[in-house]
Amino acid sequence: MNNGKDLKVQIVEKEINKNEKSNGIQKVNIKYPLAVALIG
């Protein structure tokens, strides 16, 4: 899965649109599995 690119995410509490990005940073809702895994 590693394709040599960095992934930047911002964990947010608000509802977000699918694939919402701002300045190259993907917003991820705090309840999404990726955010839960990162937070621990």
pLDDT digits (tens, 9 = 90+) for 1-40: 668 888 899 999 988 877 778 888 989 999 999 999 999 8
Report if residue 13 sits inside a domain.
yes
Instruction: Indicate the number of domains in the chain.
Output: 1
Range of the domain at 27: 9-39
The span from the first CA to the last CA of the chain, in angstroms, equals 21
Report if residue 3 sits inside a domain.
no
**pTM attached to this predicted model:** 0.68
Q: What is the pLDDT of residue 1?
A: 60
Q: What is the pLDDT of residue 20?
A: 77
Report if residue 2 sits inside a domain.
no
Residue 30 structure tokens: 């705090």
Q: What is the pLDDT of residue 37?
A: 95
Q: What is the pLDDT of residue 2?
A: 67
